[in-house]
Amino acid sequence: MNARSQTFELTVEGRQVDEAVASLFHTVLFHRSLGKFHYKQEGSYSVGTVGYTDVDCDFIDFTYVCCSSESLDRNLKKEISEFSEALRGNDGPGSGQISLEFFQKKKNRWPFQPECIPWEVWTVRLELIKLNNEHERQVCREKVGDMLTEKILYIAEVMNRHEYVPKMPNQSELDLIFDTSYPDVQPYLFKVSFTTSGPSNTSVGTTMKKLIKETLSL
Amino acid sequence: MVMKMATVRLTCQDKKDLEKFTKFLALKAAQIIVQSRLGEKVQSKCKPHLSGTDWFNLAIQDLPEVHAETKKALCGDLVNAHLPMCVEISLRTVEGDTMMLETWSLGVLPDQCDPSVRVTYTVYNRMCVLLKSLLSVTRVTPAYKLSRRQGPDSYVICYRIYMGEPQLHNLGEGYNQVRVGQLCTPVGTIQLSVSFRTKMTISPQHTGKDTSIMLKSDHFHPDLSPRHMRYQQSEENNTSLTETIKIGAFADNVKPLTQPGESDLVMPNIPFSSLLTPQHQSPRQHTPPQQAPSQPSSVVTNPETGSGEEAEDDGNGNATPRCASAADSRRSSCSMVSANEDFIMVDLKTPFAGNNANSDLGAFYRDCQSAPQLKTFSEQPTLAEQVEDITKTLEAFESNMREYDDMLNSLCLNENNN
């Protein structure tokens, strides 16, 4: 099965990386998270309520909405800041991409691990720029905000196409579809992965990594 | 034909459910839109263990006022009305100018339907997704940033909920239209979209009557600003005071001010007429002094007409309350608006600066506006000192605007009685 794939490209200053990625991924996760399921008996369950929070960005003129779940936020931010550090650790302007991948698990024969089948991938490709003064920074704040606005509208558009999402499972298979480890929300299973590269060093290693990754995700 | 077959195939229970879902979709959408324009960040908690209380598995708090307004607008139900429900968001400045910012519309397109879709499960879940998209999109249209910066001394954001085709002609040239989302149901496609203004320059168009005295939108024009004129006119203060004060105006109100027979005071007809009509460059400079008595009366009534408008507005539009929901808070914010509106441009002369015979009047003034006693009034100040004192006095005046309003109003009343 081919996963749907969406790619966003952004040009940002180093300190905007975390917020730019978080605003997009949180918006996606907000759409892809349900209330917690509580099974009464087989075939019947109740669904909890998802709360939401407005988040103002510090380095971008932008506000986004995310699930009111501290642990979800913490996990996502952790992944994003690893990416951010790797990206900004490079000398000079660099680029990189980070992906939010939704997958479902398929049970395998013992002793093999269950197979992970991605069904939707959201990728943010970032190009880092250096700014010289506060005026440029101010312009960039607004520009990145405008670009994020477009992306949010696009996310809403995609979400409302109502394309494939995994079927609601029965109780025993809930963990194959949803991440049930959060106490307050129930997102579809997801993982975050990233790659970075310097200005011009598409080394054999990264190309190979990319090749392998792409092969695996098919 | 397709539609008819579909409606026939739809069971009674499904039809009922669908109508109910659509109604709640409209109610919740209105809540989301209006709450996003309150100027505050919204936060609601997840409720993992509660169930059955929140529609669409989203913790949307209901503001009773918005709920009532939406219900009033909806009357029947969205599905059979075939008319979209619109939520209009507009901005109103303290000067009373309004600008429509955006119109959200939620409607059902009856000719696109999907009879196979399951109402209770699929439609409901897609409505959840639609509302989540609405939450995300409300934060990114230009009106969101404006609403976060609103305040009683600059502008407030207002909303209006109505049924009917969206009225977009007030959005200015080049407005944008964005579809938030849509979903197919057995009776049609539910669509939610927003049209928003992209050109944010406000063109002054006074909504109230243009008879209030100091209602001007050129307050910050450098040539016309009171600060600028203050310095320009500082030298003619002595004469302007004697020209403008009519002693009789205060006589029966507070205390006797002048000794009879003080012949060096010229008495024009209108007390403070030059205060009421800015002398230079003002658009009102043509106003003949005879009209002055009628002008202050419009000042008195203007806040009332303002609130009258507001009450009228209640039928179809409301100022967005800044906090919570109470209608009182809305009203109070509006009354602040109209109070500020009236005396923005009081262009004061400095009546006590000179060494003329007006020290009694000066004392009266100081009594009225409770500015600190300045030594320069009793001494012979240099021109530079005078100018500085004038500035200070004027600043004190400006900070005591309200008291000054009251005094002016009482003066006007006196004049009318006479």
Secondary structure element (H or E) that encloses residue B34, with its range: helix B12-36
Sign of CA dihedral B259, B263, B268, B272: negative
The count of residues in chain B is: 418
- In the numeric block, which tokens belong to residue A101? 């991948």
Sign of CA dihedral B363, B367, B368, B374: positive
* pLDDT confidence band for B126 (50 / 70 / 90): very high
DSSP state of B376: G
E strand residue ranges, B166-218: 176-185, 188-196
- Reduce the DSSP state of residue B159 to 3 states and report it: strand
CA–CA separation, B46 vs A51, rounded Å? Answer: 4
pLDDT of residue B113: 81
Residues of A in contact with B45 (CB under 8 A): 51, 68
Interchain pair B182, A160: CB under 8 A: yes
Interchain pair A51, B43: CB under 8 A: yes
Contacts of B384 (CB under 8 A, 6+ apart): none
Place of tokens 């989302």: B181
Contacts of B146 (CB under 8 A, 6+ apart): B91, B101, B155, B157, B200
Q: Which residue out of A38, A50, A57, A72 would a mutagenesis test of the B interface target, given it has the greatest number of B Cβ atoms within 10 Å?
A: A50
Query: Is the minimum CB–CB distance between A48 and chain B shorter than 8 Å?
Result: yes
CA–CA separation, B273 vs B276, rounded Å? Answer: 5
CA–CA separation, B145 vs A64, rounded Å? Answer: 12
- In the numeric block, which tokens belong to residue B124? 């409901």
CA–CA separation, A27 vs A22, rounded Å? Answer: 8
pLDDT of residue B262: 45
CA–CA separation, B126 vs A156, rounded Å? Answer: 12
Interchain pair A46, B53: CB under 8 A: no
- Reduce the DSSP state of residue A96 to 3 states and report it: strand
* pLDDT confidence band for B112 (50 / 70 / 90): confident
* Torsion angles phi and psi, residue A189, rounded to 5: -55, 130
Instruction: Give yes or no for residue B38 having a pLDDT over 70.
Output: yes
Helices (DSSP H) in B215-358: which residue ranges?
A: 226-233, 237-244, 248-251, 273-276, 294-313, 327-342
Maximum separation of any 2 CA atoms in chain A, in Å = 62
* pLDDT confidence band for B257 (50 / 70 / 90): very low
8 A C-beta contact, residue A10 and residue A126: yes
Mean pLDDT value of segment B55-79: 86
pLDDT of residue A90: 63
Identify which of A35, A54, A153 has the shortest CB distance to residue B42.
A54
Between residues B104 and B1, which one has the greater pLDDT?
B104
pLDDT of residue B213: 44
In this structure, the number of other CB atoms found within 10 A of the CB of residue B80 comes to 12
- In the numeric block, which tokens belong to residue B155? 């502008």
Secondary structure element (H or E) that encloses residue A193, with its range: strand A190-197
**Could you tell me which chain A residue has the CA closest to the CA of B51?**
A48
Query: Is the minimum CB–CB distance between B38 and chain A shorter than 8 Å?
Result: no
* pLDDT confidence band for B79 (50 / 70 / 90): low
Average pLDDT along chain B:
68
Instruction: Give yes or no for residue B250 having a pLDDT over 60.
Output: no
Chain pair A-B, CB pairs under 8 angstroms: 123
pLDDT of residue B344: 44
Instruction: Give yes or no for residue B94 having a pLDDT over 50.
Output: yes
Mean pLDDT value of segment B207-224: 45
* pLDDT confidence band for A190 (50 / 70 / 90): very high
Provide the phi-psi class of A15: left if phi over 0, else alpha when psi is between -120 and 50, else beta. Answer: alpha
- Reduce the DSSP state of residue B158 to 3 states and report it: strand
pLDDT of residue B285: 33
Distances (CA, A) of A154 to A11, A22, B165: 18, 16, 25
pLDDT of residue B377: 61
CA–CA separation, A87 vs A93, rounded Å? Answer: 9
Summarize pLDDT for B148-182 with one digit per residue, the tens: 999 988 999 999 999 988 888 888 888 899 999 99
Q: Report which listed range, A149-158, B264-273, B296-305, is most confident.
A: A149-158
pLDDT of residue B283: 38
* pLDDT confidence band for B51 (50 / 70 / 90): low
Nearest CA to B264 out of B357, B355, B362, B349 is that of: B357
* Torsion angles phi and psi, residue A207, rounded to 5: -65, -40
> N- to C-terminal Cα distance for chain A?
7
8 A C-beta contact, residue B129 and residue A162: yes
Interchain pair A49, B53: CB under 8 A: yes
What are the beta bridge partners of residue A126?
A10, A96
Between residues B6 and B352, which one has the greater pLDDT?
B352
8 A C-beta contact, residue B357 and residue B96: no
* pLDDT confidence band for A124 (50 / 70 / 90): very high
pTM above 0.90, yes or no: no
Mean pLDDT value of segment A25-51: 88
User: For a pLDDT cut of 70, what percent of chain B falls above it?
Assistant: 52
CA–CA separation, B279 vs B283, rounded Å? Answer: 10
Q: For residues B57, A37, A189 and A120, what is the CA-based torsion angle, rounded to 10 degrees?
A: -40
Lowest mean pLDDT among A70-79, B7-16, B106-115: B7-16
- In the numeric block, which tokens belong to residue A196? 């970075």
pLDDT of residue B352: 55
pLDDT of residue B415: 63
Mean pLDDT value of segment A135-157: 94
Sign of CA dihedral B62, B65, B68, B69: negative
Interchain pair A38, B49: CB under 8 A: yes
* pLDDT confidence band for B235 (50 / 70 / 90): very low
pLDDT of residue B406: 86
Instruction: Give yes or no for residue B282 having a pLDDT over 50.
Output: no
Mean pLDDT value of segment B224-229: 48
Between residues A192 and B3, which one has the greater pLDDT?
A192
CA distance B15 to chain A (A): 22
CA–CA separation, A172 vs A169, rounded Å? Answer: 8
- In the numeric block, which tokens belong to residue B334? 């509006």
What pairing do the DSSP bridges indicate for beta strands A4-13 and A115-129?
Answer: parallel
**Could you tell me which chain B residue has the CA closest to the CA of A145?**
B140
pLDDT of residue B323: 35
Nearest CA to B21 out of B185, B175, B152 is that of: B185
pLDDT of residue A203: 55
Lowest mean pLDDT among A110-114, B275-279, B374-378: B275-279
Nearest CA to B342 out of B290, B307, B291 is that of: B307
Instruction: Give yes or no for residue B242 having a pLDDT over 90.
Output: no
pLDDT of residue B210: 40
> N- to C-terminal Cα distance for chain B?
78
Contacts of A34 (CB under 8 A, 6+ apart): A47, A50, A178, A185, A186, A187, B57
Lowest mean pLDDT among A150-164, B150-164, B254-268, B278-292: B278-292
Q: Which residue out of B38, B41, B46 would a mutagenesis test of the A interface target, given it has the greatest number of A Cβ atoms within 10 Å?
A: B46
What pairing do the DSSP bridges indicate for beta strands B155-163 and A44-47?
Answer: unpaired
* pLDDT confidence band for B316 (50 / 70 / 90): very low
CA–CA separation, B296 vs B410, rounded Å? Answer: 10
pLDDT of residue A42: 63
Residues of A in contact with B183 (CB under 8 A): 160, 162
Summarize pLDDT for B330-363 with one digit per residue, the tens: 333 333 333 334 444 444 455 555 555 456 776 7
pLDDT of residue A180: 92
Mean pLDDT value of segment B54-79: 85
Contacts of A50 (CB under 8 A, 6+ apart): A30, A33, A34, A35, A67, A68, A185, B46, B57, B58, B59
Instruction: Give yes or no for residue B305 having a pLDDT over 50.
Output: no
CA–CA separation, B309 vs B332, rounded Å? Answer: 14
Between residues B12 and B64, which one has the greater pLDDT?
B64
Interchain pair B57, A50: CB under 8 A: yes
